[in-house]
Chains A and B, each alone.
Chain A
Amino acid sequence: MKGYQVLLLLLAIHFLLSVGAIVLYLRQPDSSQGATPTGSPEGGIPCPQ
């Protein structure tokens, strides 16, 4: 492979891995990262008060 082909392949892999990480993050059932103190109209899960 030529140098630029290797680099573009790596770029594509990084992009896809990042998409995958975002999808996994958003599919987490756990609310610990998404909780907001007051609850959210956008679907956030309220913290225990």
Chain B
Amino acid sequence: MSAVTIWAVAFLIAYLVGMVVIGAITSRKAGESIEEHFLGGRSLHPLVLAFSYVASSCSASIYMGEPAMAYHIGWPAFWVTIAIIPGMVVPALLLTGRLRRYSLNLESVSIPTYLGKRYDSDALRVLLAVLIVVFYTFPLMAQCKGGAILFETFLGIPRAVALVVFTLITSFYVMSGGLRAEAISDTVQGVPMLVFSVTLIVASYLWVGGLDNLHVRLSQVDPALVGVFDTEVFTPAGVIGSYIFWFIVFVSNPYLTTRFMAMRSTGKRDMGMFLIGTLIMTAIINSNYFIGLVGRLVFPSIADPDSATVMMAIQFLPAFAAAFMMMGILSAMMSTVDGVLLVVGTAVAEDIYHQSINRQASQKTLVLISRITILVVTVIVLVFSLWKPPRFLFIIMNIGLSGVGIAVAPPLLVGLFWDRATKAGALASVVFGVSLYSYLVLIAKINFWVAVGIGAVVGLVVMVLVSAFTKRPSSEILARMRV
């Protein structure tokens, strides 16, 4: 057994024990009420939420999938790092205050329930809940693949076994503790994530001897690696699409926007801590592309570029540090998986069962249904991942996130800022936007970023146009929302 493996096993055991302990400690409180379970009782510290917001958005995709893209296409991949900064901050600025207040006034603990009440539409709520469950299967599978690669590389255990261990432990602690467990563990995980990013980027920088050296050496491999745009992914149209993509993802994906609803207050001090914490974490963690760029020089022909970051860590760092970095990657994946699982549990328990089937259901029953849902979805994802593992982590992840984004963003955003937004407009935008996006990505197979841009813009236009020509929403609901 190598030194890296020994350290990795030690860190892994400590990490997993820590997560289970957090889940166990918070489980009692989480079982008390659905608001506590789904939103941490709306009492979480803003820095805890900022860590949770960024950590949940940083997944296997950021540590493995995106450096792999940089490995392939070079500097043009850096557009993601550029576009993600406003993509994360602007939604927080736009949404936090209004969404928290309106959702509180309409007694909603989830995005579909809030939108169902805002537009007075059960159909919209159920449609969104179903789309969330379906589309979130994709990012869950992506994270499971990433987790399995990690365990296989560091621990030398078969990928199938690694997959089972990774998935079951994550689902256990989400079932136990809800958002409070998730947010606290995200913060604990945020520290190794930061250390991970900075250490490996610095080590890569020192190895290559500066940016000019990197430029020269990459251009010797392939001049296209040092351009501003490339010809396939980050064409000028693709860049515009990527801005829209990140905005859509962060403005509308419930596994992220629940953080806005869970703020303990939207006072200036809390908001300041949340926003600045979010910005700094985002800037640091999204510099991981650099590892992929240097990786292209260190390992010119990797069979599976998703492994580049892990190989770089083992190559450049002492066994202790490399194993510690494994925890950074692992924590990123787990924070995404738990965030997504929690939203899926909420969609079934609250948005479908509570709101449509049994209005009298007790709080404990709803939490129980959420936990059972998480377990069932975990098993389904596990079976799919073992049966037909996704080929490209980055793509499978973002197809799912965009699908939810295009469904939720137009009704959420327009409904927050325009009283005239109607139920018919919201339903039409979801149906048209998601159908068009699914067609472009899955059947026409056009550039992914462009497909996202078209789907989002069409959804938004349909939302506005249909709203303008249909019956005004009830003024009673709008008044209650703004109490």
Q: Is the CB of B90 within 8 A of A37?
A: no
Which residues from chain B contact A41 at a C-beta distance below 8 Å? 265, 267
Chain A positions 29-49 with a Cβ under 8 Å from a chain B Cβ: 32-37, 40-45, 47
- Beta-carbon nearest neighbor of A37 in chain B: B104
Which residues from chain A contact B283 at a C-beta distance below 8 Å? 15
Q: Is the CB of A35 within 8 A of B82?
A: no
Contact flag A18-B86 (CB < 8 Å), given A7-B75, A47-B101 = yes
Q: Is the CB of B266 within 8 A of A33?
A: yes
Contact flag A44-B226 (CB < 8 Å), given A11-B78, A33-B98, A37-B483 = no
Q: Is B85 positioned at the interface, with any CB of A under 8 Å from its CB?
A: yes
- Taken together as a complex, chains A and B put the C-alpha atoms of A10 and B215 apart, in Å, by 17
Query: Smallest Cβ distance from B464 to chain A, in angstroms?
Result: 22
Q: Is the CB of A34 within 8 A of B271?
A: yes
Write out, one digit per residue, whether chain B residues 73-89 have a CB within 8 A of any chain A CB (1) or not (0): 00110110111011001
- Taken together as a complex, chains A and B put the C-alpha atoms of A2 and B227 apart, in Å, by 8
Q: Is the CB of A21 within 8 A of B90?
A: yes
Q: Is B228 positioned at the interface, with any CB of A under 8 Å from its CB?
A: yes
Q: Is the CB of A22 within 8 A of B93?
A: yes
Q: Is B211 positioned at the interface, with any CB of A under 8 Å from its CB?
A: yes
- Beta-carbon nearest neighbor of B79 in chain A: A7
- Beta-carbon nearest neighbor of A44 in chain B: B267
Query: Smallest Cβ distance from B42 to chain A, in angstroms?
Result: 10
Which residues from chain B contact A25 at a C-beta distance below 8 Å? 93, 271, 275
Q: Is B319 positioned at the interface, with any CB of A under 8 Å from its CB?
A: no
Q: Is the CB of B265 within 8 A of A42?
A: yes
Q: Is the CB of A22 within 8 A of B86?
A: no
Q: Is the CB of A18 within 8 A of B266?
A: no
Q: Is the CB of A22 within 8 A of B275?
A: yes
A interface, size bucket: 20 to 34
Q: Is the CB of A3 within 8 A of B227?
A: yes
- Taken together as a complex, chains A and B put the C-alpha atoms of A16 and B204 apart, in Å, by 26
Which residues from chain A contact B215 at a C-beta distance below 8 Å? 2-4
Which residues from chain B contact A2 at a C-beta distance below 8 Å? 215, 226
Which residues from chain A contact B90 at a C-beta distance below 8 Å? 18, 21
- Taken together as a complex, chains A and B put the C-alpha atoms of A2 and B218 apart, in Å, by 13
Write out, one digit per residue, whether chain B residues 366-397 have a CB within 8 A of any chain A CB (1) or not (0): 00000000000000000000000000000000
- Taken together as a complex, chains A and B put the C-alpha atoms of A3 and B211 apart, in Å, by 11
Which residues from chain B contact A18 at a C-beta distance below 8 Å? 85-86, 89-90, 279
Query: Smallest Cβ distance from B89 to chain A, in angstroms?
Result: 4
Which residues from chain B contact A15 at a C-beta distance below 8 Å? 85, 279, 283
Q: Is the CB of B89 within 8 A of A47?
A: no
- Taken together as a complex, chains A and B put the C-alpha atoms of A41 and B78 apart, in Å, by 41
Query: Smallest Cβ distance from B412 to chain A, in angstroms?
Result: 16
Q: Is the CB of A34 within 8 A of B267?
A: yes
Known contacts A3-B227, A42-B267; 13 further A-B pairs (Cβ under 8 A): A7-B79, A7-B228, A21-B93, A22-B276, A33-B266, A34-B266, A34-B268, A34-B271, A40-B265, A42-B270, A43-B268, A43-B270, A47-B101
A sample of 12 inter-chain contacts (CB < 8 A) reads: A3-B75, A7-B75, A7-B82, A15-B85, A15-B279, A33-B97, A34-B266, A35-B266, A36-B100, A37-B105, A37-B483, A44-B266
Residues of chain A at the chain B interface (Cβ within 8 Å): 2-4, 6-8, 10-11, 14-15, 17-19, 21-22, 25-26, 32-37, 40-45, 47
Residues of chain B at the chain A interface (Cβ within 8 Å): 75-76, 78-79, 81-83, 85-86, 89-90, 93, 96-98, 100-101, 104-105, 211, 214-215, 226-228, 264-272, 275-276, 279, 283, 483
